[in-house]
Amino acid sequence: MPASLDLIAGFTALSDAYPEYDLARAHFEGEVPEAFASEFLRRALLREKARYHFRMARIPVTSVIDRLELTACSVPGSDTNSRRLKELLDANDFDVLAPEVHLRAGEYGESYLMVWPLDSEDETPDGLADQELVAAGVEMSYHSPMSVRVIYDDEHPNRKKFAIQRWREGKSWRADVWYSDRIERFTTDGEVSGANENDWQQYVEEDGPNAGQWPLENPYGEIPFFHFRTERPYGRPLHYDAYGPQQAITKMLVSQLSNVDFNTAPDRIGLVDPAAVLDQNGDDPDWDDDADAGLQSANAGNSSSLRSAPGTIKFLTGLKDVKQFDGAEPKVYIEPVELYVRLMAQLTSTPLHYFDPTGDAPSGESLRTAEAPLVARVHRLQRLFRGPWAEACKFALRLIGITVESVDVRWKPAVTIDDPEGWQVIEAKQRNGVPMRQALLEAGYTAEQADEWLDQQAEEMDLRRRVEILDQMADAIQKLGGAAAMGVVDQGMVATLIDRIVGQITPEEGQAA
């Protein structure tokens, strides 16, 4: 049976997108080739470049992703389901998985998270799969956009039409096409392009629980790949605008390092003197006073007089002068590099001090102004990534029989105010009516931290209020006692009044003060 049209469309889309992903990876790793006007120079410097990697273009990615920290995923209103979700995430090393998904989405512009049941019979090269993972029953794994691609419905761009996953087995291609109701598996026979229908055939397992089945049933009604992307429908690498500056920086620095060899051992030229006194044999001259002068040549008896030792003289046969070609000054390379770094920072909206942490970094309000574009990019990615994480967590819970309507995805604040100038602004906001909780959130603290601090503050304020009231009561009791002694009021009336007031401001049994 020839391959389905969806397989060919998905495989072609993966193949067409691959060069851009590879280019993004090369710039991220500092491995992109440079362009030279001279082919000879390109070949000469290519050997040098293999030894050096200047990964400046990764800074626009890491500066954003390092602030994109996912703190928790929970089910609103259900501590039990929240606990089960945390168990699933912990079993899948969530603290490692989430940063990997985010980093690769920044590097390639997109990444994929696959969520699927884990059978206890699944094995790894070291034996049975991780027992905590087996107990959880659900596996969550990162997949590169170089091997997985979700294809969306042309009429409804937000709906997944199908997903294709491809990989190599020896010289053959393997590909799975995932639908909401089935899984179609294909393979090629030998090394072929995979672009033609006749390159493919059905892949049917010969043993195991799926032996002889094609296609496989997808009993969960959902395509299990969740798409993290910096733009829609497909992402754009965060360092895309850094490609040009990165190539220029690498070219200049590799050229400068190659020039170091010429500065260390420069090329020299010798000017020939046809009327040279010394003969062409290079013999030492026979001077009568050599022994008396202490200038005996260190290479007496040798065929060449070019030897170096204390108290010796060098003689150059037939030469009247020696000159050398000096290498270019380092500033010829370094000054343009500084320009290209500034261009990279400007084009990628990355603060310049991320590229040069040894310089004078801004502080206070200047720092917040400089980092505002970066913080805005972090907030944008938080909004874009919140949906895939929520959908992935809901699906993971459904795989273990728990259906929830929503999942709360919480992020660490992208910025925290910790300088005197910033707190003066926060205090001014509170004086002008901004609630304290909102002020804490704007200062960069999480909702949980703000709520906990406000609860503690409320308890402290309540206790302080009680103490103040009791102090006032003590003064009032003293005055009432004086009034009773003078017969102005009845003693029993005073006692009743005091009991009622003290009972209102004193906590009941079992309550905290």
The residue among 389, 424, 442 that closes a domain is: 442
Q: One digit per residue, pLDDT tens: the chain, 513 residues?
A: 456 889 999 999 999 999 999 999 999 998 876 665 556 555 655 555 456 678 899 999 999 999 999 989 999 999 999 999 999 999 999 999 999 999 999 999 999 999 999 865 555 545 555 788 888 899 999 999 999 999 999 999 999 999 999 999 999 999 999 999 999 999 998 888 888 888 999 999 888 788 888 999 999 999 999 999 999 999 999 999 999 999 888 888 877 777 766 666 566 666 777 666 555 554 455 555 555 555 444 444 545 555 566 656 666 666 677 776 666 677 878 888 899 999 999 999 999 989 886 667 777 778 888 888 999 999 999 999 999 999 999 999 999 999 999 999 999 888 876 666 666 777 777 777 778 777 776 666 666 667 777 776 665 555 556 556 656 766 776 777 777 677 666 777 767 766 766 665 555 544 444
Using CB atoms within 10 A of its CB, is residue 324 exposed (0-12), middle (13-18) or buried (19+)? exposed
Q: CA dihedral in degrees (500, 505, 507, 512; nearest 10)?
A: 180
Q: Is 118 part of a structural domain of the chain? A: no
Q: Is 465 part of a structural domain of the chain? A: yes
Q: Is 493 found in the same domain as 459? A: yes
Q: Is 500 found in the same domain as 475? A: yes
Separation between Cα atoms, residue 345 and residue 56, nearest integer Å: 10
Q: Is 5 part of a structural domain of the chain? A: no
Separation between Cα atoms, residue 182 and residue 213, nearest integer Å: 11
β-bridge mates for residue 73, sequence order: 409
Beta strands in 99-147 (DSSP E): 110-117, 123-124, 127-128, 138-143
Q: Is 320 found in the same domain as 283? A: yes
Q: Is 451 found in the same domain as 500? A: yes
Range of the domain at 501: 447-505
The residue among 278, 309, 325 that closes a domain is: 325
Helix axes 364-399, 420-431, angle to 10 degrees: 80
Q: Is 175 part of a structural domain of the chain? A: no
Q: Is 278 part of a structural domain of the chain? A: yes
Name the nearest CA neighbour of 146 among 57, 13, 30. 13
Domain count, the chain: 3
**61, 238 Cβ separation under 8 angstroms:** yes
Q: Is 452 found in the same domain as 432? A: no
**162, 177 Cβ separation under 8 angstroms:** yes
Helix axes 79-91, 364-399, angle to 10 degrees: 100
Q: Is 473 part of a structural domain of the chain? A: yes
**312, 298 Cβ separation under 8 angstroms:** yes
- The angle formed by the CA atoms of residues 160, 166 and 171, to the nearest 5 degrees, is 165
pTM here is 0.74
Q: Is 298 part of a structural domain of the chain? A: yes
pLDDT of 54: 83
Q: Is 486 part of a structural domain of the chain? A: yes
Look up residue 234 and give its amino acid: Y
The residue among 302, 325, 348 that closes a domain is: 325
Q: Is 436 found in the same domain as 452? A: no
Report the length, in residues, of the chain. Answer: 513
Q: Is 467 found in the same domain as 431? A: no
Separation between Cα atoms, residue 104 and residue 100, nearest integer Å: 6
